[in-house]
Structure 1
Amino acid sequence: MEREEISGPESAYGDGNRRISHVVGSEACQEGHCRSDVIGEAKRQLGLAGPLIVVSILQNSIQLISVMFNGHLGELPLSSASLATSFASVTGFSFLLGMASALETLCGQAYGAKHYHLLGIHLQRAVLTLLSLSIPLSVIWFYTSTILISLHQDHEISTGAGTFNRWMIPSLFAFGLLQSLNRFLQTQNIVFPMMISSGVTALLHPIVCWLLVYKFGLRIKGAALANNISYWSNVILLSIYVKFSAACRHTWTGFSKDALHDFFSFIRLAIPSAVMICFEYWSFETVVLLSGLLTNPKLETSVLSISVNTMWMVYMISVGLGGALSTRVSNELGAGQPQRARLALVVAVVVALSEGVFVGIVTILARHVWGTLFSNEKEVIRYVAKIMPLLALSDFLDGFQCVLSGAARGCGWQKLCAFINLGAYYVVAIPSAVLFAFFFRIGGMGLWMGIICGLSVQVMALVIVIACTNWDKEAMKAVRRVQEAGRAIGMEPESLLSKGTETYQPPAPT
């Protein structure tokens, strides 16, 4: 079954209802064709998700490796670097990651509509916005130690954390650029260059850390500088690819004054995207902080930290699957193909459920071994084994919601998801965690039970929203969003089409 070609001004800016209804009518297929569509869609998503999973793991390993090098310097540098990294994630990286996620909607739908020139415009708006936001965030990082001490954290550890974050301020600006470039390429199904650049920087990062931390004797400052070098190296590699690659010649045509107009189209999605991501990330940090208030804080904090780190590691798989679904949904909605977008969602749900069951089974089977990878204390190992079944359930739910959230980003539902996350995590999860842990005295397991309650609510809300979705209307909204973006920079249908929509065929996932 071939996709309807988009050719001519009417298809770009014409009667959206007639276009959508024609596509829906053409989607009727025989059983054999439908089976081939499902198989083809699964191959596309797995071809996207595999490299995206690797990219997520490699890029997140940068900070982990730096913390590990600090760990070999002693207990104080390890505590300082760990606290600094957590503070940096809460006050900086999560904001930038969330705002850059708006490009999954804007670039993805513009690419599906074959209005390739708009991708470069959206990228420039994102870069300017995130660089501007990084300035006040860098001020917060500069006063990390003061803020932490005012929150009654250990003075010596807070001082070390402040030093680490001050030296890591340049990476804040690089991180925003990196996330924007990632989304720009991802929405075009260009994923292998991202994997290669991330692999190169991750491979060289331990060497850079060793040189700066030990060889030049910069210690904790050297680990922070290594983060700067690695993040900026990744940005430079991807920028060179975007500039000179033939795959991006129609989506990146150079800097343009058009990017200075209609910033609201990006901000309107970027702020809810940031809120959506931050609400989720902050809730897990809150649980770790709450563990320090339990009867045996050293044991509880250790086990909860192991659980959270394990969950984030598994979460990288779901991030890849969710990113792939976001790309497929946004591309198909932008192209006016609502039934293909729905097919992409169905395939992704099946894959996510299968992956969740597999990971859950492995987690339960490994419960008596997993704790030994993190600690030699028998008490910690026993506690980890006890909490692992709950971790398996939370991994399943978190992975499922991550994929559903990917579909939401592809549709542009960031504002709705921000409210869902607010209710799920701060009306249900955190209060439930406090209730189970402190009033019912279940301890760390009670905190994790609270997280599971929040994840359950989030999943149910997303399932209800998606089940009630009119995909034809979502496709019309996507077409309208692309129309508005083009008109905002004074481009008529003919000028949009002259950017290559008739002569340029989009590449297969690379």
Structure 2
Amino acid sequence: MESPVMPPVFQHQDDLQIRKYIDEGKKQMGLALPLIAVSILQYSLQVISVMFVGHLGELPLSSASMATSFASVTGFSVLLGMGSALETLCGQAYGAKQYHMLSIYTQRAILILLASSIGLALIWFYTNSILVTLHQDKDISAGAGEFNRWMIPGLFAFAILQCLTRFLQAQNIVVPMMITSGITALIHIFMCWFFVFRIRFGSKGAALANAISYWINVILLALCIKFSPTCSKYFKAFSREAFHDLLGYLRIAVPSALMICLEYWSFEMVVLLSGLLSNPKLETSVLSISLNTCWMVYTISVGIGGAISTRVSNELGAGRPQNARLAVRVASIFATSEGLIVVTMTILVRNIWGKLYSNEKEVIVYVAKIMPLLALSNFLDGFQCVLSGAARGCGWQKLCAVFNLGAYYVVGIPSAVVLAFVFHIGGMGLWIGIICGLSVQVLALVIVNLTTNWNDQVKIIPD
């Protein structure tokens, strides 16, 4: 019996659909690969600093880890979230060919983020007092407070950096960001060695190196925008329009910040809770290493999420909702493939990973024990990051903020507390709670993407 032959018209349609997936995949990879590099290189500044401090001893490692966690909770995540509003505004404006708005939105964001940094800097200044009030170890809190005070100048650079990167990302200009981030990371390694070991400035030297490196990155990127014909095409001189409709920007920026911060804060809260366990120095060190590892892997998903955010916002701005839906489907395939690779690699390096951060055998063994849990959380976190990127492209920040509130603060953190302190599973119990929260978040994002009418998502960016 002969096999049925597919009619030529259906075969042609299938070939056309496959071609669309391939073309979209090429566009996303062209954006995602440089953005992954940018994300890894920018985040590596904090990781490199913690690694250098880790070889000064267990207490400096705990202090620096607590400081970077506190800094992420109260500073970096807030600015990152507020800056991500530009992914919606600039991305859709570029798709709609309203190029004059790119510079206005970016300048407006810089003003708002710099003003916000003043208040955040005050929080960093009193890091020690806040941590002691939260019943953290006094020695660890003192070291963390000193670390964050030396890092305050870098907070303002970080604010500007978020705006400049989103400005270029919306235009699909990503290679200059990769180059400047790479140069900054190389300089940062030298500065950490110089300040920490050469002039024996200790953990303060690592914090100072962080601050200087962020400013170097801003200066290099600003020079690219100023003198590169491609980068400077839509960045005009400072305009008074940047002061107009600040509340309009905040209406998107605040939910954007909440969307990202509610997730970031729950992860960082795990480190703070670890300080209340029976062996706080060990638990804090291991959970901080775990978190640094998680964020390092997360940078890969951030690159893919940035690419899908740009593709979705550009297509919606151009009035092509079906192309936006296709972009989400392709990104989901990438996220699944990347997640499986990350799971495999995480498990394979579990016995040696702790040695990069510490010489203490107890720390190395504990890190190896918790790595399988990190593998699962990395997979889920990578998938939600991509779907969250699509949400930012659509302007769904308010909805996603509600999702994250329920996932992490109704399910995740309560589960972590019960497992760690009631069932006495310790740090591993805290991380299992986070996995519960991630599972709820992923489920909610999948449902909303599957039930979305993409034709209703097309928005017109106002002049």
For the criterion TM > 0.5, the same-fold answer is yes
Asked if structure 2 preserves the Cα contact closer than 8 Å seen for 1:116 and 1:250, the reply is no
Look up the match of 2:307. Answer: 324
1:92 partner amino acid:
G
Look up the match of 2:271. Answer: 288
Relative to structure 1, is the Cα distance of residues 236 and 379 closer, same or farther in structure 2, using a 3 angstrom cutoff? closer
Asked if structure 1 preserves the Cα contact closer than 8 Å seen for 2:262 and 2:405, the reply is yes
Look up the match of 2:258. Answer: 275
Q: Give the CA deviation at 1:368.
A: 4.4
Is 1:143–2:147 an aligned residue pair?
A: no
Look up the match of 1:504. Answer: none
Q: Give the CA deviation at 1:154.
A: 3.7
Alignment partner of 2:230: what SS?
helix
Asked if structure 1 preserves the Cα contact closer than 8 Å seen for 2:173 and 2:231, the reply is no
Counterpart-to-counterpart distance in 2, 1:298 and 1:223 = 20
Alignment of 1:91-102 (within 5 A): 91-102=74-85
Relative to structure 1, is the Cα distance of residues 400 and 235 closer, same or farther in structure 2, using a 3 angstrom cutoff? same
Relative to structure 1, is the Cα distance of residues 311 and 210 closer, same or farther in structure 2, using a 3 angstrom cutoff? closer
Counterpart-to-counterpart distance in 2, 1:211 and 1:92 = 26
Note the alpha carbon deviations across 1:381-421, whole angstroms, 9 max, x for none: 55444433332221111110000000000001111111110
Alignment of 1:357-368 (within 5 A): 357-368=340-351
Counterpart-to-counterpart distance in 2, 1:260 and 1:418 = 27
Look up the match of 2:51. Answer: 68
Is 1:185–2:168 an aligned residue pair?
A: yes
Look up the match of 2:7. Answer: none
Asked if structure 1 preserves the Cα contact closer than 8 Å seen for 2:277 and 2:283, the reply is yes
Look up the match of 1:57. Answer: 40
Relative to structure 1, is the Cα distance of residues 370 and 76 closer, same or farther in structure 2, using a 3 angstrom cutoff? closer
Alignment of 1:187-206 (within 5 A): 187-206=170-189
Relative to structure 1, is the Cα distance of residues 404 and 117 closer, same or farther in structure 2, using a 3 angstrom cutoff? same
Look up the match of 1:352. Answer: 335
Q: Give the CA deviation at 1:288.
A: 2.2
Is 1:266–2:249 an aligned residue pair?
A: yes
Structure 1: give runs of 5+ residues left out of the alignment.
Answer: 1-28, 487-510
Is 1:113–2:91 an aligned residue pair?
A: no
Counterpart-to-counterpart distance in 1, 2:414 and 2:57 = 36
Counterpart-to-counterpart distance in 1, 2:384 and 2:34 = 20
Q: Give the CA deviation at 1:465.
A: 0.9
Is 1:128–2:111 an aligned residue pair?
A: yes
Asked if structure 2 preserves the Cα contact closer than 8 Å seen for 1:117 and 1:250, the reply is no
Relative to structure 1, is the Cα distance of residues 265 and 63 closer, same or farther in structure 2, using a 3 angstrom cutoff? same
Counterpart-to-counterpart distance in 1, 2:391 and 2:146 = 39
Asked if structure 2 preserves the Cα contact closer than 8 Å seen for 1:178 and 1:234, the reply is yes
Counterpart-to-counterpart distance in 1, 2:27 and 2:320 = 16
Q: Give the CA deviation at 1:333.
A: 0.4
Relative to structure 1, is the Cα distance of residues 246 and 91 closer, same or farther in structure 2, using a 3 angstrom cutoff? same
Asked if structure 2 preserves the Cα contact closer than 8 Å seen for 1:189 and 1:327, the reply is yes
Q: Give the CA deviation at 1:180.
A: 0.7
Look up the match of 2:4. Answer: none
2:155 partner amino acid:
L
Q: Give the CA deviation at 1:57.
A: 1.2
Asked if structure 1 preserves the Cα contact closer than 8 Å seen for 2:290 and 2:374, the reply is yes
Alignment partner of 1:336: what SS?
coil
Q: Give the CA deviation at 1:159.
A: 3.1
Look up the match of 2:292. Answer: 309
Alignment of 1:22-101 (within 5 A): 30-101=13-84
> Which one of 336, 351, 358 corresponds to residue 319 of structure 2?
336
Which stretch of structure 1 is more off in the superposition, 204-213 or 169-178? 204-213
Structure 2: give runs of 5+ residues left out of the alignment.
Answer: 1-11
Counterpart-to-counterpart distance in 2, 1:249 and 1:375 = 44
CA RMSD of aligned residues (A): 2.2
Is 1:392–2:375 an aligned residue pair?
A: yes
TM-score by length of 1: 0.83
1:130 partner amino acid:
L
Alignment partner of 1:454: what SS?
helix
Note the alpha carbon deviations across 1:304-345, whole angstroms, 9 max, x for none: 333322222211111111111000000000000001101100
Counterpart-to-counterpart distance in 1, 2:273 and 2:63 = 19
Alignment partner of 1:442: what SS?
coil
Identical columns (%): 69
Counterpart-to-counterpart distance in 1, 2:103 and 2:357 = 45
Counterpart-to-counterpart distance in 1, 2:297 and 2:236 = 38
Counterpart-to-counterpart distance in 2, 1:213 and 1:307 = 23
Relative to structure 1, is the Cα distance of residues 411 and 397 closer, same or farther in structure 2, using a 3 angstrom cutoff? same
Asked if structure 1 preserves the Cα contact closer than 8 Å seen for 2:43 and 2:299, the reply is no
Alignment partner of 1:255: what SS?
coil
Q: Give the CA deviation at 1:174.
A: 0.4
Look up the match of 2:439. Answer: 456
Relative to structure 1, is the Cα distance of residues 365 and 156 closer, same or farther in structure 2, using a 3 angstrom cutoff? closer
2:87 partner amino acid:
E
Counterpart-to-counterpart distance in 2, 1:147 and 1:123 = 33
Counterpart-to-counterpart distance in 2, 1:205 and 1:365 = 29
2:28 partner amino acid:
Q
1:460 partner amino acid:
L
Which stretch of structure 1 is more off in the superposition, 268-277 or 73-82? 73-82
Alignment partner of 1:247: what SS?
coil
Q: Give the CA deviation at 1:299.
A: 4.6
> Which one of 395, 399, 404 corresponds to residue 387 of structure 2?
404
Relative to structure 1, is the Cα distance of residues 416 and 154 closer, same or farther in structure 2, using a 3 angstrom cutoff? same
Alignment of 1:221-240 (within 5 A): 221-240=204-223
1:354 partner amino acid:
S
How many residues were matched structurally? 452
